[in-house]
Structure 1
Amino acid sequence: MKKYFLSIFAISALFTSCASEDHIYNDDSAKAYEASGEFFFANAQKELVDQLTTPSVNLNVFRYFSQYWAATLYRAESRYDLTTRDIPDNHWNNLYTQVLANLKKAKQDIMLESKPASMSQANWDKTQKNRLAIIEILNVYTFQILVDSFGDVPYSQSLDVENMPLPKYDNDTDIYSNLLTRLNTAIGQLDTGYGSITATQDGVYGGNVSKWLLFANSLKAKLAINLADVNPTVAKQNLEQAFAAGLIETNTNNAVLTYNSFSPNYNPIYEELVASDRNDFVPATVFVNRLNTLNDPRRPIYFTPLEGTSNTYVGGTYGSTNTQPYQDSYSHIGNKIKQANSPGVLIDAAEINFILAEAAERGYSVTGTAASYYEKAIKASMSYWGVSDVDANAYYNQTNVNYLTATGAWKEKIGNQAWIAMYNRGFESWTFFRRLDFPSIVAPASAYPVAEGKIPVRLTYPSTEPNVNGTNYQTAVSAIGGDKLTTKVFWDLN
């Protein structure tokens, strides 16, 4: 497994040598060398996708929060003991030092690059604007994750180690407002008629500015929908703007990073479960049983059938150890998900269509109906995983799936199906759950007291912060209402 020793206060070390842990980038690990700004962008992009994709409980426990997976031996994380191996610290450090610091370095180096002799000044200026705008868009995406994870976080004074070694924590409401401003500026700078990041250094879109524009608008919709309960006017305005400008509504425009089938750049799920020969997880009963009830055609993709059967799926008990006999007592994580080159996702069509269904229910002007976007979201998920149109239609036409006949109000309908579709995207699933309060999952009886009998709705701050940045930490703790797993981020009102 990877080990991470960097903190937000050690960012400057990244700027004197290679800012990557990947062997492919280190021909001589003892020698610092110059790299292009686009190299740092590529590394930041991969580190971001890695952090959201990895199943390592040292780094990412969001599949546990959504009760997709259960433990087979080490059950502390599924009971919400998150400090044994400093899980919040690692999530925080990776986003600040491996993503944001590399993006900062990318911006600095790109701004210093000289115009190629073969390129006109006008073309160069437009290309530079596109490159810097794309970097800015990923900055906004990353800061949103930090806010949605912790609440108040270092923002205006972050990433400036020399001048602000002990950064203040900014108010999470103010950060969201500023992120929308930054994102709107970046969107205005994108020009689809010119080039951007070199195709080989952009693992998501290959430098395609038109697709980055769709990504930026979709990110704007994600920020906006989270504001729906706390600031409905701003939410409506920004989401309608994003919709009018164009969103990721089809899988052809999904923001995915396709990993290599070889070391060291394969999918971190493969790294943790296959290459490392680990059997730490099985699908959780609560999730498997929901899909069994719905006869969901994604089951043979999400899970393996019980050994000796062709269509029987059995999960493990969430919050417990599920150890013996491991091999033939449970279904396991689906083989397609564990492939070395399986892609990692930043935004996909299923997510955006569920957001549009929610927007329609809230009365936003998004042309279609909630039912139409809900259906598109489900079928986008089916298509992404390779389910046939026949099976997708049969699934949707069930009384307990179809939007017009499914049980519950709109939050329950959308929340339940988003939960199923966001499998393998634990962080986004957790966000849907906190905003919509569905699905109706509960903390296990064995949960640690720190969880107060509830599924966590935020991460606690890194354990180093009280000692290293104590004054600012205490101010933030007072502002958000306590450094607890049960303290809600500002947009989570219900």
Structure 2
Amino acid sequence: MKSYIKILSVALLTTLATSCSKDELRIYDTTQQLDAVESVNDPFLLASVIKQTSLFYQNMGFDNRRLPSAVQHMQSNYQSGDNFYSGFKSPIDDMYSAMNILKLIDGSIGLAEKRASNAHKGIFITFRVLLFSFMTDFYGDVYYTQALKAREGILYPKYDKQADTYAGLLKELDEATALITSGTEPIDKSYDLMFGGDKTKWIKFANSLKLRLIMRASGKLSDAGARMTALLNAPLLTDATDNASIAYVGTTAENSWKGGTINWGSVDEFNKRRPCKTLVDKLTDLKDPRLNVWVAPVENPWTTDKTKDGQTVTTTDPNGFSYTSKWEYLDASNKDISAQLSNVTDTDKLYVGFIAGMLSDWKNGNGHYNTAAGGVVGNFKVSQFSQLFRQNKHNLLKAQIINSDEVQFVLAEAAAKGLISGSADTYYRKGITNSMLRWGIKQADIDKYLAQASVALPSDKAGQLAKIADQKWLALFTVSTEAYLDLRRTGLPNIFSNGRLSGYTFPLRYRYPGNELGQNRNAYDQGVSTLSPATDNEFSKIWLLQ
């Protein structure tokens, strides 16, 4: 067991004292936190909970390569184990990271309850549900009802069955929306980093999270359709600006985008992450305008036209970042190039992705032969991510939890399956539109994109679900937790044998942290016993998948 068994009040003080940057605090809050836990106000707690949870989620979408590589949004250009799921083979401590934030959240719930701050309590419960759902979705059975009960003498909490945890989480979300609705205290705009004091958007967030969880468990809930239908008349994240996310400040390592120059002073860490060929090819095939926002042109693209050899092309992307590409003729008479011909995957293209499942011969991606000039992470034949992702802050870079486009795609899937009434096509197009608007695409370009036959939903159910999954997978770029869980749940898009992944098995869960085996053995053994097969590895099925 980790530090979550400490006395809650001490843990809360420690978390508050170390987790919030000065831009989120006022002087009197800093003074209050030194006096006693009971004197910390609700707005301060809200800012801290929002910040910690949002950063926790977003760091799994770009900084940690395990999930973005698994869903083929990204591939590693160095230390390539994540390209073929190696990170899932060992115990993963993300459960403890979530619990550290839950210590703060449960303390905040208790303090809000004492002060009858119903709206704040409801918001804190929503974040509580979010983090417990993360734990059970990735691990299976986890502690829930006995979690954070150290002051009551429960140092080794039992694991709840996932079915019971899901039932409890959905019930908690009903409580959360009721509390936010009934709460009369104001939500301070300056401390509400997510919705600027807009209570309606907090209700939308809670309802949208509930919709997400119902869809995730829809294969196990006989009344999933009825539950979703009931939410159609409730406030949901609908507009393109209705997103549970926060902006980066860009002044310190903590409040800056992970790929920026503050966190990664050397460009090498940035260059280790390359857009996957699966992503780049899909964007290219669909003439998707997000390609130019997310992906940089290749530095030295291959050309089969000898007359273009050495010619340069200058490209400026929609955000004003400029790039220079220099064509190189694929000359088979050159012995160095000839030796790499079997590794060439793309020619005559400015945008090229790193092939899925690339092994230790990363330097040879797309026939890159000039490895000495490229250094240990260089590759002149595969695109980098755009310079947008090298910034410390940008209006398009957010720490994200759930966006309105995801909600629309959930509704589109539900409609296509007949779980709810309404037009799957309408929800589908709204999801695409919201995603593109979120990335700064102009409405005229969105309309042109939607007019393509290649984007239109077909008439058959299977075809509709495949198209919806494709577009949702694109929209979940940099929201890798959800992209992974969706890919695992639906098997769509079917990308599991791409590139060099044939022979590798897609992982279905995280292994429990090693400390659970050593210090909470009875609960651990019970949790493992409900897996199928009853083995603590990445291929055993949790209740949701059985």
TM-score (norm 2): 0.78
State the one-letter code of the partner of 2:102: L
Q: Against the structure 1 CA distance between its residues 158 and 272, is the aligned structure 2 distance closer, same or farther, given a 3 Å change threshold? A: farther
Cα deviation for residue 23 of structure 1 reads 7.0
Q: Verify: 1:281 aligned to 2:273, yes or no.
A: yes
State the one-letter code of the partner of 1:380: N
Query: What are the within-5 Å matches in structure 2 for residues 383-398 of structure 1?
Result: 383-398=437-452
Q: Verify: 1:439 aligned to 2:468, yes or no.
A: no
Cα deviation for residue 178 of structure 1 reads 0.9
SS at match of 1:262: coil
Q: Against the structure 1 CA distance between its residues 374 and 73, is the aligned structure 2 distance closer, same or farther, given a 3 Å change threshold? A: same
Aligned to 2:118: 129
Aligned to 2:387: 335
Q: Given the alignment, which residue of 176, 182, 185 partners 1:186?
A: 176
8 Å Cα contact 1:295/1:395 also seen in 2:
yes
Query: What are the within-5 Å matches in structure 2 for residues 268-307 of structure 1?
Result: 268-270=258-260, 274-275=264-265, 277=267, 278=269, 279-307=271-299
Count of residues paired in the alignment: 466
Q: Against the structure 1 CA distance between its residues 419 and 37, is the aligned structure 2 distance closer, same or farther, given a 3 Å change threshold? A: same
Aligned to 1:464: 515
State the one-letter code of the partner of 1:399: A
The CA deviation string for residues 298-320 of structure 1, in whole angstroms up to 9 with x for no partner, is 00111111125437211113332
State the one-letter code of the partner of 1:383: L
Q: Verify: 1:349 aligned to 2:349, yes or no.
A: no
Cα deviation for residue 408 of structure 1 reads 5.1
| Cα distance in structure 2, aligned partners of 1:81 and 1:21 | 33
Aligned to 2:413: 358
SS at match of 1:155: coil
Aligned to 2:342: none
Q: Given the alignment, which residue of 2, 25, 42 partners 2:47?
A: 42
Cα deviation for residue 270 of structure 1 reads 2.8
8 Å Cα contact 1:100/1:139 also seen in 2:
yes
**Which blocks of at least 5 consecutive residues in structure 1 are unaligned?**
114-124
The CA deviation string for residues 432-474 of structure 1, in whole angstroms up to 9 with x for no partner, is 2122210111167877xxx982111211111221111111101
Query: What are the within-5 Å matches in structure 2 for residues 478-493 of structure 1?
Result: 478-481=529-532, 482-492=535-545
Q: Given the alignment, which residue of 220, 227, 230 partners 2:220?
A: 230
| Cα distance in structure 2, aligned partners of 1:378 and 1:395 | 9
SS at match of 1:245: coil
Aligned to 1:54: 59
Aligned to 1:93: 96
Q: Which moved more, 1:205-214 or 1:300-309?
A: 300-309
Aligned to 1:102: 104
SS at match of 1:289: helix
8 Å Cα contact 2:76/2:272 also seen in 1:
yes
State the one-letter code of the partner of 2:178: G
The CA deviation string for residues 378-410 of structure 1, in whole angstroms up to 9 with x for no partner, is 111111111122221222222221113799522
Cα deviation for residue 196 of structure 1 reads 4.0
State the one-letter code of the partner of 1:149: F
8 Å Cα contact 2:239/2:404 also seen in 1:
yes
8 Å Cα contact 1:36/1:106 also seen in 2:
no
Q: Given the alignment, which residue of 236, 250, 257 partners 2:239?
A: 250
State the one-letter code of the partner of 1:360: A
Q: Which moved more, 1:101-110 or 1:451-460?
A: 451-460
Q: Given the alignment, which residue of 491, 507, 526 partners 1:475?
A: 526
| Cα distance in structure 2, aligned partners of 1:164 and 1:196 | 36
Structure label with greater radius of gyration: 2
Query: What are the within-5 Å matches in structure 2 for residues 308-327 of structure 1?
Result: 309=313, 310=315, 312-320=350-358, 321=360, 322-323=362-363, 324=371, 325=374, 326=378
Q: Which moved more, 1:356-365 or 1:55-64?
A: 55-64
Q: Given the alignment, which residue of 17, 28, 31 partners 2:14?
A: 17
8 Å Cα contact 1:71/1:318 also seen in 2:
no
SS at match of 1:386: coil
8 Å Cα contact 1:452/1:486 also seen in 2:
no
State the one-letter code of the partner of 2:176: A
Q: Against the structure 1 CA distance between its residues 444 and 473, is the aligned structure 2 distance closer, same or farther, given a 3 Å change threshold? A: farther
8 Å Cα contact 1:433/1:439 also seen in 2:
yes
Q: Against the structure 1 CA distance between its residues 21 and 281, is the aligned structure 2 distance closer, same or farther, given a 3 Å change threshold? A: farther
State the one-letter code of the partner of 1:94: S
Q: Given the alignment, which residue of 460, 470, 474 partners 1:420?
A: 474
Query: What are the within-5 Å matches in structure 2 for residues 123-202 of structure 1?
Result: 125=116, 128-162=117-151, 163-191=153-181, 194-202=184-192
The CA deviation string for residues 237-267 of structure 1, in whole angstroms up to 9 with x for no partner, is 2211222112111112211111102113112
Q: Against the structure 1 CA distance between its residues 196 and 82, is the aligned structure 2 distance closer, same or farther, given a 3 Å change threshold? A: farther
SS at match of 1:170: coil
* Identical-residue share of aligned pairs (%): 24
| Cα distance in structure 2, aligned partners of 1:407 and 1:135 | 39
Q: Against the structure 1 CA distance between its residues 109 and 340, is the aligned structure 2 distance closer, same or farther, given a 3 Å change threshold? A: same
RMSD: 2.9
| Cα distance in structure 2, aligned partners of 1:386 and 1:445 | 31
State the one-letter code of the partner of 2:205: F
TM-score (norm 1): 0.86
Q: Against the structure 1 CA distance between its residues 60 and 176, is the aligned structure 2 distance closer, same or farther, given a 3 Å change threshold? A: farther
Q: Against the structure 1 CA distance between its residues 195 and 443, is the aligned structure 2 distance closer, same or farther, given a 3 Å change threshold? A: farther
The CA deviation string for residues 273-320 of structure 1, in whole angstroms up to 9 with x for no partner, is 644542321111122112112221100111111125437211113332
